[in-house]
Chain A
Amino acid sequence: MVRLSLRSSRPHGDTARSRGAQRSGGPPASAAPMDSSSQPQPQSPAAGGDPSEDGAAAELPRLTVTQVEQMKVEARVADIYRVLFDAAPNAKSVMLELWRDQHVEYLMKGLRHLAPSFHVLDANRPWLCYWMVHGLALLDETLDDDLENDIVDFLSRCQDKHGGYGGGPGQLPHLATSYAAVNTLVTIGSERALSSIKRDNLYKFMLLMKDKSGAFRMHDGGEIDVRACYTAISVASLVNILDDELAKGVGNYIASCQTYEGGIAGEPSAEAHGGYTFCGLAAMVLLNEVEKLDLPSLIGWVAFRQGVECGFQGRTNKLVDGCYSFWQGAAIALAQKLMAGSDEQSKQSQPSKLSSVDDSCGTSSSGLASEKSSVVDYAKIGFDFMKQSNQIGPLFHNIALQQYILLCAQVPEGGLRDKPGKNRDHYHSCYCLSGLSVSQYSAMTGSVSCPLPQHMLGPYSNLLEQIHPLYNVVLEKYEEAYEFFSSE
């Protein structure tokens, strides 16, 4: 079943010589709102010790911080994989299990009570809701009605009277927490949840957050970046308030953030980064402006972010991190869907040609959005995207990614983490599970309706719910919300 012995594990000395260091030191500064990874400890180049012990040591040039940190992680991951490869077949299957019950317990517990140390996330409480509720939905775990209603009530308290959601009751409305709140409510999916979103106000709030460049700022007087653009566009698309006025200029801003490496940065000239690459590409799809990106070079950059540890790194020469299973994995899964069949040239193609205000559902789109007739029918882009099946297979190693998540990111007590040696947290639990779902479904092509066993690692019971990769909400929940908001 597991044919990855190829290069996932290597003895230390060999690693030192042959790989050099493709990856580097320091946990990534996550594009997500909160990556609670600890600060990196800069190491003097001599601090590596073990990797240079073999006979070639004398010929090795001085190792840099990047190389030393990379080798430590590789060695740690190799130890884990070696146990797998040496195990008997039935033991292998046990090792590759997803520990559903433990993850459910961990996520459920946090939904009610959090320890005092969580005060640093006091301005991110809708995010905490989303990480847990979405994680549970991926695991197909239903919440009881009381809990669902309490979440809806809580998020209503975070909703500003002039529109948008803040990080807690009474806090300033913020685009990222609005994204977290709306995704949570869509995942809950009840009439009460969906109708609690004040769409008119949300629309007004978003217009106020628009900079003259077209890009969005996170909150009144807040920072402008690709993450703000994505969260705005994703929310607007999801609740069907996206129109030309909101869309104007965003695509050009995002395109200006694609770097010489091929990935997308947080702002123009900054470094290509997995989080922003997902945000930028997903927003471009929702805006119907993907053609403004150099897609082949973006794909090439993401494909190279998967490393010998089998997981993804966030930037060139940085360390592997479980949360990029989603950011990079979903970005390349989006790109896969944008690619036409194999007999065509690698020209980027849109999943569907979107004509002007065509309305096959019979109801016209939101009164808010339809004041001016759009050239692009934003209301249907996200929906049509998923109706189009994959014409090509995955562009990354979907089995290897599952191996990293299952073996290196799972914590036995429940929850998932960045990498071995790190603690679990809700953010990494959410994005490791999201990445696992993306990799399980990525090999589905043509008319296949569910993943084949050979595209999954571990028992078939590992299969998670499928997500809509443009929004990162469970697909079924998305479809219900789409119905709801198309008729609003």
Chain B
Amino acid sequence: MGSSSGEEGEEQWVPPSRRPELADVAPLPQADGPCPVVSIAYRGDFREVMDYFRALYAAGERSPRALRLTADAIHLNPGNYTVWHFRRVVLEALDADLLLEMHFVDQIAESNPKNYQVWHHKRWLAEKIGPDAANSEHDFTRKILAMDAKNYHAWSHRQWVLQALGGWESELQYCNQLLEEDVFNNSAWNQRYLVVTRSPILGGLAAMRDSEVDYTVEAIMVNPQNESPWRYLRGLYKDDNNLLVADNRISDACLKVLNKDWQCVFALSFLLDLLRMGLQPSDELKGTIEAMENSDPETGHADIAVAVCSILQKCDPLRINYWSWYRTTLSS
């Protein structure tokens, strides 16, 4: 756990007790009681900073020295939401420079990219700064995502900035780039879904669906074992089962994949959903399923959905309980 805290290269760190500006402050120890539990053996510097922080927090002092002390406390433990909260109160009282504050929190966020508080603080700041913050915020999340392309907080922040402050122009291209780098990156697929459904410049899902189906089917063909595009494909027809069933490209894709690998669980399960939604199986499809079943004389079902489900029970043993249940939900 990050025990090194002061990488900021500040000259030489002076403990609060030796700072002239805090000479009049009486440190306030934590009220842990005589028999504490989950008692942390705080290091001296941590205890001291927090004792001084508590004193100013209790007094509600909204001053530059209080602001400086919150920075110390945050460096020692960026997860202390009370300190962040008080810092926001002080910042507002002092009418502080928001860009400078953004710089401060960015530095903390870079070394603590999975911390709830830093991202919340950034959102608070960006909201105050307004649309001018959009570009620099997008640059920042790009930087964090370049280190970990699936950082949940960074993605949430990026989505919030897009929807609240804008900056949609190159977002689809960014998704393309990330998926080119790693087509298994489900966060990038999820972001693509946001862009396709919500971007004010692309015309929404109805306008984008056709080209997105092509893009997704291509990704599936290159790597049928990648679950992300299969789920994305279903998402493109969310709440529109009839259109999904009517799109031949999709059942064709399933068939094509199954002809190469008849045990592809994603293709079988997609096909099962299609059948359940009312897909009328083509003769070719029927032939393929029957051929699969014939490899196992035990089975042999009149209902093609039941047949697919029983194939899944066999070739997806990890989900045998799920498929057994699923089968009971098929009316036959």
Residues of A participating in the B interface, judged by any CB pair closer than 8 Å:
6-7, 18-22, 24-26, 28-29, 34-36, 39-40, 42, 61, 64-67, 110-125, 128-129, 132, 146-147, 150-151, 153-154, 157, 166-172, 174, 218-223, 259-262, 266-267, 269-273, 296, 299-301, 303-304, 306-308, 310, 315-318, 339, 342-343, 345-346, 392-398, 400
A397 with B40: in contact, given A39-B114, A260-B235 (CB under 8 Å)? no
B291 to chain A, nearest CB (A): 21
Q: Whole-angstrom distance between the alpha carbons of A121 and B156 in the complex?
A: 23
A406 to chain B, nearest CB (A): 17
Tell which of A65, A172, A218, A310 touches B182, judged by Cβ atoms closer than 8 Å.
A65
A-B contact pairs, 18 of them (CB 8 A): A22-B225, A24-B184, A24-B185, A39-B113, A42-B147, A42-B148, A115-B41, A120-B77, A129-B37, A147-B37, A150-B37, A219-B81, A259-B190, A266-B152, A270-B159, A271-B187, A300-B269, A345-B331
Q: How many A-B residue pairs have CB under 8 A?
A: 259
Which residues between 53 and 92 of chain B lie within 8 Å of chain A, taking CB atoms? Answer: 54, 57-58, 76-77, 79-82, 85, 88
A318 touches B186 (CB 8 A): yes
Chain A residues lying within 8 Å of B329, measured Cβ to Cβ, are: 296, 345-346
Chain A residues lying within 8 Å of B328, measured Cβ to Cβ, are: 342-343, 346, 392
A114 with B152: in contact, given A122-B80, A223-B120 (CB under 8 Å)? no
CB closest chain-A residue, reference B224: A20
CB closest chain-B residue, reference A131: B38
Which of A221, A273, A339 has most chain B Cβ within 10 Å?
Answer: A221
Chain A residues lying within 8 Å of B80, measured Cβ to Cβ, are: 122-123, 167, 171
A39 with B148: in contact, given A114-B40, A270-B156 (CB under 8 Å)? yes
Q: Mark B145-189, 1 if CB is under 8 A from A, else 0.
A: 011111111011001100100000000000000000111111100
Identify the stretch in B93-101, B129-137, B314-322 within 8 Å (CB) of chain A at 4 or more residues. Answer: B314-322
Tell which of B79, B150, B228 touches A123, judged by Cβ atoms closer than 8 Å.
B79
Chain A residues lying within 8 Å of B181, measured Cβ to Cβ, are: 64-65
B82 touches A66 (CB 8 A): no
Interface of A is mostly: loop
B43 touches A119 (CB 8 A): yes
CB closest chain-B residue, reference A392: B325
Identify the stretch in B11-19, B28-36, B300-308 within 8 Å (CB) of chain A at 4 or more residues. Answer: B28-36
A120 touches B79 (CB 8 A): yes
A20 with B156: in contact, given A119-B76, A172-B82 (CB under 8 Å)? no
Q: Whole-angstrom distance between the alpha carbons of A393 and B327 in the complex?
A: 13
A22 touches B40 (CB 8 A): no
A400 touches B318 (CB 8 A): yes
Tell which of B36, B43, B114, B222 touches A29, judged by Cβ atoms closer than 8 Å.
B114
Chain A residues lying within 8 Å of B30, measured Cβ to Cβ, are: 168-170
Residues of B participating in the A interface, judged by any CB pair closer than 8 Å:
1-3, 30-33, 35-43, 46, 50, 54, 57-58, 76-77, 79-82, 85, 88, 113-114, 116, 119-120, 123-124, 146-153, 155-156, 159-160, 163, 181-187, 190, 193-194, 198, 222-223, 225-228, 231-232, 234-235, 238, 269, 317-322, 324-326, 328-329, 331
Q: Whole-angstrom distance between the alpha carbons of A355 and B182 in the complex?
A: 51
A317 touches B227 (CB 8 A): yes
Tell which of A121, A153, A174, A310 touches B81, judged by Cβ atoms closer than 8 Å.
A174
B150 touches A24 (CB 8 A): yes
Chain A residues lying within 8 Å of B324, measured Cβ to Cβ, are: 393
Which of B37, B181, B194 has most chain A Cβ within 10 Å?
Answer: B37
Tell which of A119, A262, A303, A393 touches B42, judged by Cβ atoms closer than 8 Å.
A119
A297 to chain B, nearest CB (A): 8
CB closest chain-B residue, reference A3: B317
Tell which of A35, A296, A317, A346 touches B226, judged by Cβ atoms closer than 8 Å.
A317
A269 with B194: in contact, given A20-B226, A21-B184, A113-B39 (CB under 8 Å)? yes
Tell which of A21, A42, A66, A271 touches B190, judged by Cβ atoms closer than 8 Å.
A271
Interface of B is mostly: helix
Q: Whole-angstrom distance between the alpha carbons of A121 and B77 in the complex?
A: 8
B152 touches A271 (CB 8 A): yes
Q: Whole-angstrom distance between the alpha carbons of A124 and B115 in the complex?
A: 13
Q: Whole-angstrom distance between the alpha carbons of A124 and B82 in the complex?
A: 11
Chain A residues lying within 8 Å of B79, measured Cβ to Cβ, are: 34, 120-124
Which of A21, A129, A316 has most chain B Cβ within 10 Å?
Answer: A316
CB closest chain-A residue, reference B222: A61
B59 to chain A, nearest CB (A): 13
Chain B residues lying within 8 Å of A220, measured Cβ to Cβ, are: 85
Query: Top 7 closest A-B pairs, CB basis?
Result: A260-B235, A346-B329, A66-B184, A20-B225, A29-B152, A64-B182, A316-B186
Which of A169, A223, A301 has most chain B Cβ within 10 Å?
Answer: A223
B38 touches A221 (CB 8 A): no
CB closest chain-A residue, reference B329: A346
Chain A residues lying within 8 Å of B32, measured Cβ to Cβ, are: 154, 157, 169
Q: Whole-angstrom distance between the alpha carbons of A317 and B156 in the complex?
A: 18
Chain B residues lying within 8 Å of A219, measured Cβ to Cβ, are: 81, 85
Tell which of B41, B88, B159 touches A269, judged by Cβ atoms closer than 8 Å.
B159
B321 touches A154 (CB 8 A): no
Chain A residues lying within 8 Å of B318, measured Cβ to Cβ, are: 6-7, 306-308, 310, 397, 400
Tell which of B1, B120, B234, B319 touches A36, judged by Cβ atoms closer than 8 Å.
B1
Chain B residues lying within 8 Å of A171, measured Cβ to Cβ, are: 80-82
Tell which of B35, B81, B238 touches A167, judged by Cβ atoms closer than 8 Å.
B81
A131 to chain B, nearest CB (A): 9
A122 touches B40 (CB 8 A): yes
CB closest chain-A residue, reference B113: A39
Chain B residues lying within 8 Å of A310, measured Cβ to Cβ, are: 318
Chain B residues lying within 8 Å of A125, measured Cβ to Cβ, are: 38, 40
Chain A residues lying within 8 Å of B43, measured Cβ to Cβ, are: 116, 119
CB closest chain-A residue, reference B234: A260
B38 touches A132 (CB 8 A): yes
Which of A117, A125, A170 has most chain B Cβ within 10 Å?
Answer: A170
B226 to chain A, nearest CB (A): 6
B319 touches A317 (CB 8 A): no
Q: Whole-angstrom distance between the alpha carbons of A477 and B302 in the complex?
A: 51
Which of A6, A168, A273 has most chain B Cβ within 10 Å?
Answer: A168
Q: Whole-angstrom distance between the alpha carbons of A27 and B193 in the complex?
A: 23
CB closest chain-B residue, reference A315: B186
CB closest chain-B residue, reference A276: B152
Chain B residues lying within 8 Å of A317, measured Cβ to Cβ, are: 184-186, 226-228
